[in-house]
Amino acid sequence: MQVIVLGACRAGIHLVRRLLAAGHEVVLVDPNAEEIASKKSIGVVAVTGVIIDIDVLREASIESADALCAMSESENQNLMASQIAREIFNVKHVITRVYDISGLPIFNRSGFVAISSTDVTCDAVMRELEDRDLESSLDYSMHHIMGTSINFTLLNADKLVGAHIKDVKDTDARHIFAIVRNDIMILAQPEMRIEKGDKLILAAM
């Protein structure tokens, strides 16, 4: 299986080693990926760059990846990278390390599996990747709340119908992360136009 691991933190590096030992093809993406891989003597394909940069993800061969594991210590970037993987590149199996997504049950239908806790993260990811029935494993999410690193707000967008995402200014300095349309979460793009019934997911940066 071709797997992309985002984040060269302790959990990310441990996962890379586990995946390589299991015979998977692994690409590590991190702002310091090449330096860390060399320092830790890990024989992994390393791509240096920001994990939510689409060009960086393309360099990591995301278009042919079987799975993506967002393991960085930034929950916000993990969620964004996971949504990019699902919505733009249609990666079938996406696993995301999270810390606090309480109050946002819409992630249950987002198409990726959310896991938490440093001590059990790698075991949980390996169990997911070893599941041969990939489609059924995407039908649920595990939300183990741990810490408080990010705040999401679900905003009714009725007063913004017709506006482009890039033109929406009054969000209290919060980032428009996604649109919920017909109970489906869609990664927000600047040129997207808000439609009747849409809700905006705002993320505190």
Q: DSSP letters of 78-121?
A: HHHHHHHHHHTS--SEEEEE-S--TT-GGGGGSSSEEE--HHHH
What integer pLDDT is reported at residue 168 of this predicted model?
84
Confidence of residue 15 (pLDDT cuts 50, 70, 90): confident
pLDDT (mean) for 125-151: 40
What integer pLDDT is reported at residue 14 of this predicted model?
87
pTM listed for this prediction? 0.61
What integer pLDDT is reported at residue 195 of this predicted model?
93
Q: What is the mean pLDDT of the chain?
A: 76
> Domains of the chain, with CATH numbers?
2-137 (3.40.50.720), 152-203 (3.30.70.1450)
What integer pLDDT is reported at residue 166 of this predicted model?
85
Q: Which residues contact 81 (CB under 8 A, 6 or more apart)?
A: 6, 51, 52, 57, 68, 70, 72
Low-confidence winner among 68-72, 129-133, 149-153 (lowest mean pLDDT): 129-133
